[in-house]
Structure 1
Amino acid sequence: MAEAEGHVAEPGDWFESLPIEAKHGDFLRRIADLLLTDAVFEGTKPLDVTGGSPVLRWCDPEDMASRLAEHRPSGDGRPATQEQLLAFVRFVVDYSVKTGHPHFFNQLFSSLDPYGLAGQWLTDALNPSVYTYEVAPVFTLMEEEILLSMRKLVFGDGHPSANGGDGIFCPGGSMANGCAINVARYKFAPEVKASGLHGLPRLVLFASEDAHYSIYKMAALQGLGEDGVFVVKTDPEGRMDVGHLESQIDSALAKGYAPFMVVATAGTTVLGAFDPLPKIFKVCERYGLWMHVDAAWGGGLLFSKKHRGLLAGIERADSVAWNPHKLLAVPQQCSTLLLRHGGLLSACHSRSASYLFQKDKFYDTSYDVGDKYLQCGRRVDALKFWMMWKAKGTIGLQKHVDKIMDNIKYFLGQVQRRASFKLVLENPAFANVCFWFVPPRLQGSQNSPEYWSEIHKVAPRIKEKMMKKGSLMVNYQPLRDWPNFFRFVLQNSGTNHKDMDFVLNEIEQLGKYM
């Protein structure tokens, strides 16, 4: 670039000297090309003779810190060149986990949906904040329509709970559970909004031992304390023991506590268990308790005519947490809280700030929905889901779910056929398959006193090998008295039976000499 007379060009002058339309256009086009090539197309293709990429390029934290330091903003305040910025983007892509990769099975989210990505780009390009109709006219209506459609799936199309209920998008399933606790508490004791817990009996809720850890976090955050969560035992399949639930409620009442809520789970994080919702509803009805269903993981089954029976009874819930970014593979993040009761969210959360929610606006202010949210400024998490639903249709989302369940059935059958693998649950209900890998040296020694302590060490070692190789990511954990086991979870309908075979072959290869 030519220098102006008497001026020494600085690194960032390439940008300042461009016409306004070229300033952004050229740079963003290069960024988009880089992302589409490296993060999307190559980043979602397994390694083979034709190319592809690893799931991740492992780098120890200390080494990563050193590499990242090379890309810090300049210490002397000078702007970066376009090439330096592009090099930084390449660095981020190169060393990030490719969650859309067909061999990423580490968390309850994955995949890279092109329609969802387009929706996310559209959201970021417009940079909206959704609290009033005047600043987000399309998105306020879009959110309400998506939430209504989801309520119809949960409570039944045409049921009063769908049209007369309510809902919000939340920054993750943990916050959806937290909002459910807050609303249930308000329903039980409305004075808590103004006066807090002062003067109230001790409020307690109930959740299974396999419920999401956010229940405890949110109970602590809202002043109930972690001890305010009474733990209910589960059966051998990981489902809530309803008999023990009743005894825990009776125990709380005998102590003078005030039970107000039961948290059931539809798809537990580790085992993928579904609590017996119809039986839990009867208990809640008998004791006058709010029934919340954490269906963050399992809610997507509502799209499947073949598998939605696992959610039988969810239509009786008072509130439901459902994360489309999990089973339905909507880009992070997309989490909702759905209520059968209208008006409660607003009564519980609203503050009517006059600088946002004026009642004398020139349009119907019932469309200013932001006051029922705990957040003020927030992203449009509905748009990417809207794009996917519109592009694929309800039929396409059903096919997505059914293919996942077909792949899981195949994967389970392959685990059962291999002597090196032992299932934690012989007949898992959902898209979680938990298993131990038994190295050749331990096979046939189940009665040895060291057997299970040795098995406990296997999964962490294999996990280290797969991550450093970059070939695969599958999570592991212990649970109750069980030593470390692998938890294979699936949301990516772009995978196939060949990918299922790869997982087991790779674990066998990495672990055969342990």
Structure 2
Amino acid sequence: MVASFITEAIKTSLYTYEVAPVFTLMEDAVLKKMMEMIGWEEGGDGLFNPGGSMSNMYAVNLARYRFCPDLKEVGLYSAPRLVLLTSQESHYSISKAAALLGFGTKNVYMVPSDDRGKMIPSALEEKIHLAQSEGAVPFFVNATAGTTVFGAFDPIDEIASICEKHNLWLHVDACWGGAVLMSKKHKHLLKGIQRVNSVAWNPHKMLMATLQCSAFLVRDKSSLLQRCHSAQASYLFQQDKFYDVSYDTGDKSVQCSRKPDAFKLWLMWKALGTNELEQRVNRALTMARYLVQEIKKREGFHLIMEPEFANVCFWYIPPSLRNIPHGPELQKKLHTVAPVVKERMMKRGSMMIGYQAHGDKANFFRMVVISPQVKRQDLDFVLDEIHNLGKDL
């Protein structure tokens, strides 16, 4: 939090090196360390920006520029019908990027996922062929590491092989799941991430940096970010300065004024150390596993699936419904339980646990364990409170 206080008090901006030299070098150092953890041994490029949705938009725009560099000057008329591919479980920001950048949401092809929420590689291949058969040109694939609902990790290695075969840009939305790169125990969930073209990673999620702290990282080292977004404003980005003008990062950003958000991660990393950040991830997943075990023990609680990450999805079944056999009748009645329990917990002021329906599944609770301060007693309270608030339904 101290880092946030400092950046707000100093009120500087990362557009030219001379305005914020120390913060510019800090961002460069943090990005290089993050790339090292991804496995990009030769480095890459990147920047911090306002949130994961913006990072995903950067990825789409960069992929389009690589595929159609003339488009920057002559516009959409120079391009064929371009298609983005992403899983049905992906974040809505991919469709928003398609709308904002002029592709149109109908040119986002949703790839089916399996029962655990993971993209099916064979289905991706089918969608690529479908787009081609329709005269469209696939150019971009988004894989998700830690989906919003189930916390699923798409099989990056298999998807990367397909993208290499078809020469498609592969982006990984690891805004939520990127934290596992800090953990030797859990980083296998991101197997193959070193093969992708770009990554979105939000340290303000599981690593608990203060909002906002979102990194977009790209493996390309040929100034692709710069060429894609540069406007060469002569009043800021003079090319005959006395220092290395590649440190004028504002010309590779969509923004001009940009907060030094990397400082929040830099200071936290320095203060806590890599080992503590690793333990922060491990503790969160350990607590999620504890919650799963408690759900399995308690009558009236039913786990949707064994979680892969820290997203624990479950139903609470009140006593009045426990003798109804599994089927449409139970699902219909169960669908009304979670909204009432949520209303009661909000009015009591005890908790804010989210619920939702998903596919043909009735409304269920989705408990996401993040905070390193969460204890077993807190998770016991969650289940006790849900039962107390819903046992009369």
Normalised by the length of structure 2, the TM-score is 0.98
Q: Is the Cα–Cα contact under 8 Å of residues 155 and 340 in structure 1 kept in the other structure?
A: no
Where do 1:455-466 residues align within 5 Å?
Answer: 455-466=334-345
For the pair 1:394 / 2:278, whether they are aligned, the reply is: no
Partner of 1:195: 74
Give the counterpart of 1:416 among 263, 272, 296: 296
TM-superposed deviation, 1:423: 1.2
TM-superposed deviation, 1:449: 4.3
- Give the Cα separation in 1 of the matches to 2:373 and 2:15: 36
TM-superposed deviation, 1:369: 1.2
Give the counterpart of 1:350 among 230, 244, 251: 230
Partner of 1:90: none
- Give the Cα separation in 1 of the matches to 2:52 and 2:247: 25
Deviations 1:25-52 (A, max 9, x none): xxxxxxxxxxxxxxxxxxxxxxxxxxxx
Q: Is the Cα–Cα contact under 8 Å of residues 49 and 258 in structure 2 kept in the other structure?
A: no
TM-superposed deviation, 1:446: 2.6
- Give the Cα separation in 1 of the matches to 2:183 and 2:327: 45
TM-superposed deviation, 1:278: 0.6
- Give the Cα separation in 1 of the matches to 2:326 and 2:9: 61
Q: Is the Cα–Cα contact under 8 Å of residues 168 and 337 in structure 1 kept in the other structure?
A: yes
Give the counterpart of 1:185 among 64, 68, 90: 64
Letter of the 2:266 counterpart: W
Report the 3-state secondary structure (helix = DSSP H, G, I; strand = E; otherwise coil) of the residue aligned with 1:198: helix
Deviations 1:152-196 (A, max 9, x none): 10125xx11x2xx10111111001000000000111111111111
For the pair 1:404 / 2:288, whether they are aligned, the reply is: no
For the pair 1:120 / 2:42, whether they are aligned, the reply is: no
TM-superposed deviation, 1:363: 2.6
Letter of the 2:293 counterpart: G
TM-superposed deviation, 1:478: 1.0
Partner of 2:148: 269
- Give the Cα separation in 2 of the matches to 1:334 and 1:166: 17
Letter of the 1:131 counterpart: Y
Give the counterpart of 2:246 among 366, 369, 372: 366
- Give the Cα separation in 2 of the matches to 1:374 and 1:446: 55
Q: Which moved more, 1:364-373 or 1:296-305?
A: 364-373
Give the counterpart of 1:467 among 346, 350, 355: 346
Partner of 2:19: 135
Mark the runs of 5 or more structure 1 residues left unpaired by the alignment.
1-116
- Give the Cα separation in 2 of the matches to 1:335 and 1:152: 17
Deviations 1:115-149 (A, max 9, x none): xx100001111011111111111111111111111
The Cα RMSD (Å) is: 1.0
Q: Which runs of 4+ in 1 moved over 3 A?
A: none
- Give the Cα separation in 1 of the matches to 2:246 and 2:149: 41
- Give the Cα separation in 2 of the matches to 1:372 and 1:200: 23
Report the 3-state secondary structure (helix = DSSP H, G, I; strand = E; otherwise coil) of the residue aligned with 2:335: helix
TM-superposed deviation, 1:361: 2.2
Q: Which moved more, 1:479-488 or 1:354-363?
A: 354-363
For these two proteins, the number of residue pairs brought into alignment is 392
Partner of 2:33: 149
Give the counterpart of 1:247 among 123, 126, 150: 126
Partner of 1:208: 87
Give the counterpart of 1:222 among 90, 95, 101: 101
Fraction of identical pairs, as percent: 51
Letter of the 2:294 counterpart: Q
- Give the Cα separation in 2 of the matches to 1:462 and 1:391: 40
Partner of 2:197: 318
For the pair 1:379 / 2:263, whether they are aligned, the reply is: no
- Give the Cα separation in 2 of the matches to 1:132 and 1:448: 62
- Give the Cα separation in 1 of the matches to 2:263 and 2:246: 21
TM-superposed deviation, 1:366: 2.1
Deviations 1:375-422 (A, max 9, x none): 001211111111110001001100111111110111110011112111
Mark the runs of 5 or more structure 2 residues left unpaired by the alignment.
none
Partner of 1:21: none
Q: Is the Cα–Cα contact under 8 Å of residues 260 and 290 in structure 1 kept in the other structure?
A: yes
- Give the Cα separation in 2 of the matches to 1:448 and 1:331: 44
- Give the Cα separation in 2 of the matches to 1:233 and 1:303: 29
Give the counterpart of 2:51 among 169, 172, 181: 172
Q: Is the Cα–Cα contact under 8 Å of residues 463 and 473 in structure 1 kept in the other structure?
A: yes
TM-superposed deviation, 1:447: 4.2
Deviations 1:239-266 (A, max 9, x none): 0011111111001001110110110000
Q: Is the Cα–Cα contact under 8 Å of residues 71 and 78 in structure 2 kept in the other structure?
A: no
Where do 1:51-66 residues align within 5 Å?
Answer: none
TM-superposed deviation, 1:448: 6.0
Report the 3-state secondary structure (helix = DSSP H, G, I; strand = E; otherwise coil) of the residue aligned with 2:353: strand
For the pair 1:293 / 2:177, whether they are aligned, the reply is: no
Letter of the 1:433 counterpart: V
- Give the Cα separation in 2 of the matches to 1:308 and 1:506: 34
Partner of 1:450: 329
TM-superposed deviation, 1:199: 3.2
- Give the Cα separation in 2 of the matches to 1:319 and 1:381: 19
